[in-house]
Amino acid sequence: MHPSSRPPRIRLTAIDAGYADKPVLHQVTLDVPALGITSLIGPNGSGKSTLLGVVAGVIQPTSGTVHYAGSPAPAFVPQRSTVSDALPLTVRQTVEMARWRTRGPWRRLTKSDHATVDEALERMGIAHLAPRQLGELSGGQRQRAFIAQGIAQRSDLLLLDEPGTGLDPEARHGIERLLTDLAADGITVVQATHDLSSARAGHHCLLLRDGRLEAAGPPADVLAAPSL
């Protein structure tokens, strides 16, 4: 069954959202199908990051509802630019932060937590980088570390805000392949992206413009929209 024909993993109904006195999303209603890659596309200022923040639960809508079919706790990987290179964190410590969110800051990580971190590092192909500082990594390696942090949250819903921004073509294609593998393993992936080739490689596409949903469906159909 193609992901776009599956029941929704997320359903948004009549969502309005924004920041302080600046409304961004206007009456957005949409479904995100389970077990595939959904790409949020649209021009700058169209509301992609805001929509992702609503789904992640870090932005509260002013009206409307968000319904999750399954675990209500998505794993959220923000834009690379929101995390400073100067943070004195190793790759392993960065991924371990996912487990602290689950257990709380004052409890020691268990053997199971460490195994989860090891698995995420291996999955992203960066186990050999575990002792390295974040600031020492290339853009692609750093992004893999943040995706590993998302995987270590053990959610079947992974949200990524512009995962390919600032990466060279080879690194972007590597991230694209990793997301395809994750979807094949039963994780629903939602990414906000400006990379139309990455959106074309996914399973479902949502086109936003001026805070409104303009088109939704298979990438080939949405990317053929006259407004693009």
Alpha helices in the chain (DSSP H): 48-56, 91-103, 111-123, 139-151, 169-184, 196-200, 219-222
Those residues whose C-beta lies under 8 Å from the C-beta of residue 218, and which sit 6 or more positions away, are 4, 203, 204, 205
**CA proximity to 185, closest of 110, 130, 119, 127:** 119
Q: Residue 55: its pLDDT value, please?
A: 95
pLDDT over threshold 60, residue 220: yes
Q: How confident is the model at residue 219 (pLDDT cuts 50, 70, 90)?
A: very high
The predicted-structure confidence for 127-143, as pLDDT tens digits, reads as follows 999 999 988 998 889 88
Rounded Cα distance between 89 and 175, Å, is 22
Rounded Cα distance between 199 and 174, Å, is 14
Those residues whose C-beta lies under 8 Å from the C-beta of residue 195, and which sit 6 or more positions away, are 164, 172
Q: Give the residue-averaged pLDDT of 208-215.
A: 96
What domains does the chain contain, in order, with CATH numbers?
A: 1-72+189-228 (3.40.50.300)
Those residues whose C-beta lies under 8 Å from the C-beta of residue 29, and which sit 6 or more positions away, are 12, 13, 14, 15, 64, 213
Q: What percent of the chain has pLDDT over 70?
A: 90
pLDDT over threshold 90, residue 117: yes
Q: How confident is the model at residue 148 (pLDDT cuts 50, 70, 90)?
A: very high
Q: Residue 166: its pLDDT value, please?
A: 81
Q: How confident is the model at residue 17 (pLDDT cuts 50, 70, 90)?
A: very high
Q: Residue 119: its pLDDT value, please?
A: 95
